[in-house]
Structure 1
Amino acid sequence: MIYAMVAVGFTLFFGVLDVIKFSHGDVLMVGAFAGLAASAGVVAMHVDSPWLQLLAIVVCAVTVTGLLGAGIARVLILPLRRAPPLNTLLATLMLGTVLREAVRLFYPDGSNPKPFPALLPAGEFTIGALSIRADNLILLAAGVAIILGVHLLITRTRFGMAIRAVAQDGETARLMGINFEVVVLVTFALGSAMAALAGVMNGLYYNEINFNVGLLLGVIGFAAAILGGLGNIYGAILGGFLFAALQVLGSAMLPALVPDIPSAYKDVFAFAVVIVLMAWKPTGLIAEKASERV
């Protein structure tokens, strides 16, 4: 679900402006650290309720990354809209490095992994020989609710219609009275807020974050979006779940087939399979319906 949420963000950006924002994973990392700072502030105020702490983490992470995403779109993406796509790609790639190094240098002890508070219930549900952690189910349900909410926003609301109009033809949308810049800024804020929620979910799942967490999650999210079909939300979701399934398969299969290969090579296996799938179906598993895409 975490991979799917990151992939949906890439899809939103590409769908609206045909750009790949390679700083997306590092925005996720900023959101996770903003949530951690909010947690420390709430604890300092002697708030003991884990749900209030979680609410503070989510609100702070979403607010910070939403503003950051809109700011990136306004200052960096929109001015480069008519420049060659390579310019935007390199600019966002360098911005990701700036964000990552800024957190490492200026966040207290930012170079080392930071413990993330375990705020979700720790119980388990047992079905026969299968044990499912309660926090896993909560995170899964939360991810489903978030993606469903974004889907309903895009498909059932007036603003969602404006997003789809800009994605289809920005110039015609302007002529129809749609505020192009506002739609772009809100879309980037929305995608960045989803990244923040994915970062918080990742911290709650592993109970740890570090300044490099967005690097791998960004690459995996982008690979999932490409695998599913860049520009298609359903494809991004499918790609995220498929990549996770490949990791699980690799961690179980590799040590059984080759005892000298540890399960840590699951990422190598997953990326190798994604490369094969991309060569087999370059447009993605669910290709975007478009007459032209550059």
Structure 2
Amino acid sequence: MSLIGQYVFNGLMLGVIYAMVAVGFTLFFGVLDVIKFSHGDTLMIGAFAGLTASLGMMALDISSPWLRLAAVVIAAIVVTGLLGALIAKFLILPLHKAPPLNTLLATLMLGTVMREAVRLFFPDGSNSQPFPSLLPSGSVELGDLSLRADNVILLLSGIAIIAGVHFLITKTRLGMAIRAVAQDGETARLMGINFEAVVLLTFAIGSAMAALAGVMNGLYYNEINFNVGLLLGVIGFAAAILGGLGNIYGAIIGGFLFAGLQVLGSATLPALIPNIPSAYKDVFAFAVVIMLMAWKPTGLIAEKSSERV
């Protein structure tokens, strides 16, 4: 039972990270009907911004882990929030009336630029960078199940972040404006909503969520690299599509479902096929997602809107 509990916990931990990335894709698609393929690399930028902040605090001889953690989180949010808004302002909005493939290609190339810039200009950027362990290192005992305290904190923090964004979207004036723009941008303009400001804020929020997912990933695995956003971006996009692109609940469900498939693959494949590498869990998860998409092309939770362009 303790082994099953550990698998379940691992699935929840990965699911939170994937859901945070998937929600960003859903927010971007909701307000402008665009797929921002540099989203995963924005996550990577956030993780490296957090690492830089931690190194800066150490250079200033500030060794308190809580102060360093605060600096990591603030730096990641501020850098990626500004980055997301700038991308929306100078790349996404100018291409809003262009064919969708133009935006797709532009963001895909931007992601490559961001990834290669970190690899070339960050000190020793080609290699994995150790990410500081800033959370308590004790353990939490739940019967026979022993969980690392830092992982429990990360899981609860991720759930709180998702709940906070959900509250922002559904219960605040800004959220109402975002939903109005997502429903009908032209009507929202006529009603006095600042369309551009709402778009910029939405991209800033989605990018900040990705940054926090990158920081959580670094704290969970204790390392990051310039390619970390590549796979996480693909998984987040797959989770958003699986759940129903444009639906925030679908993105969350898709993230947890993809993580569950990975955990199921890592638990069952070695028993069925001896000596199979654990990396095949990704192959298993993507294969199942492909079958689910063929069965349910609109996603598990179809978008309510009757017409999307």
Q: Could you tell me which of 163, 171, 175 is aligned with 2:190?
A: 175
Query: What pairs with 1:155-234 in structure 2 (closer than 5 Å)?
Result: 155-234=170-249
Q: Aligned-pair distance for 1:262?
A: 1.9
User: In 1, Cα distance between the equivalents of 2:252 and 2:174?
Assistant: 22
Deviations 1:163-205 (A, max 9, x none): 1110000001001111100000000000000000000000000
In the alignment, is residue 262 of structure 1 matched against residue 277 of structure 2? Answer: yes
Q: Aligned-pair distance for 1:145?
A: 1.1
Q: Aligned-pair distance for 1:286?
A: 1.1
Q: Aligned-pair distance for 1:287?
A: 1.2
User: In 2, Cα distance between the equivalents of 1:246 and 1:2?
Assistant: 14
User: In 1, Cα distance between the equivalents of 2:150 and 2:128?
Assistant: 21
Q: How many residues align?
A: 294
Matched letter for residue 200 of structure 1: V
Q: Aligned-pair distance for 1:122?
A: 1.3
Deviations 1:50-87 (A, max 9, x none): 01000000000100000000000000000000001011
Superposed structure 1 runs of 4+ greater than 4 Å apart: none
* 1:252/1:263 contact within 8 Å kept: no
Matched letter for residue 222 of structure 2: N
Q: Could you tell me which of 48, 54, 67 is aligned with 2:69?
A: 54
Unaligned ranges ≥5, structure 1: none
User: In 1, Cα distance between the equivalents of 2:143 and 2:201?
Assistant: 46
In the alignment, is residue 147 of structure 1 matched against residue 162 of structure 2? Answer: yes
Per mean C-alpha deviation after superposition, the further-off stretch among 261-270 and 13-22 is 261-270
Query: What pairs with 1:32-47 in structure 2 (closer than 5 Å)?
Result: 32-47=47-62
Query: What pairs with 1:1-294 in structure 2 (closer than 5 Å)?
Result: 1-294=16-309
User: In 2, Cα distance between the equivalents of 1:17 and 1:227?
Assistant: 20
Matched letter for residue 23 of structure 2: V
TM-score normalized by the length of structure 1: 0.99
Q: Aligned-pair distance for 1:127?
A: 2.4
Matched letter for residue 275 of structure 1: I
Identity %: 82
Q: Aligned-pair distance for 1:147?
A: 1.0
TM-score normalized by the length of structure 2: 0.94
User: In 1, Cα distance between the equivalents of 2:202 and 2:304?
Assistant: 20
Deviations 1:262-287 (A, max 9, x none): 22210000000000000011111111
User: In 1, Cα distance between the equivalents of 2:141 and 2:164?
Assistant: 30
SS in 2 for 1:183: helix
Q: Aligned-pair distance for 1:129?
A: 2.6
Deviations 1:220-245 (A, max 9, x none): 00000011111111111111111111
User: In 2, Cα distance between the equivalents of 1:176 and 1:255?
Assistant: 58
User: In 1, Cα distance between the equivalents of 2:154 and 2:248?
Assistant: 20
SS in 2 for 1:36: helix
User: In 2, Cα distance between the equivalents of 1:64 and 1:104?
Assistant: 18
User: In 2, Cα distance between the equivalents of 1:55 and 1:198?
Assistant: 15
Matched letter for residue 148 of structure 1: A
User: In 1, Cα distance between the equivalents of 2:21 and 2:180?
Assistant: 23
User: In 2, Cα distance between the equivalents of 1:128 and 1:33?
Assistant: 37
SS in 2 for 1:263: coil
Q: Aligned-pair distance for 1:136?
A: 1.3
